[in-house]
């Protein structure tokens, strides 16, 4: 049986990411899982993409 794999995109400044990292490292359920950690800076990614725009004229209220 092939080992399960998880890729965790680690937002460097996120408390929630730290909690996920901690659980993946310490919980015995994940001992047989290959985990790949990909560090990202989420606010940097958000700044690189354009903001969501809505065409208000097309929305029927």
Residues 29-60 have pLDDT tens digits of 999 999 999 988 888 777 777 666 656 666 55
List the beta bridge partners of residue 30. none
pLDDT at 19 over 60: yes
| Euclidean distance between CA atoms 34 and 36, whole angstroms | 7
Nearest to 8 by CA among 32, 31, 37: 37
What's the predicted TM-score (pTM) here? 0.59
pLDDT at 10 over 80: yes
């Amino acid at each position: 049986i092939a080992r399960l794999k998880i890729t965790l995109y680690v937002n460097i400044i996120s408390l929630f990411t730290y909690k996920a990292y901690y659980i993946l490292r310490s919980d015995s359920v994940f001992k047989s899982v290959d985990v790949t950690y990909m560090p990202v800076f989420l606010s940097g990614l958000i700044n690189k993409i354009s903001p969501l725009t809505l065409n208000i004229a097309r929305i029927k209220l």
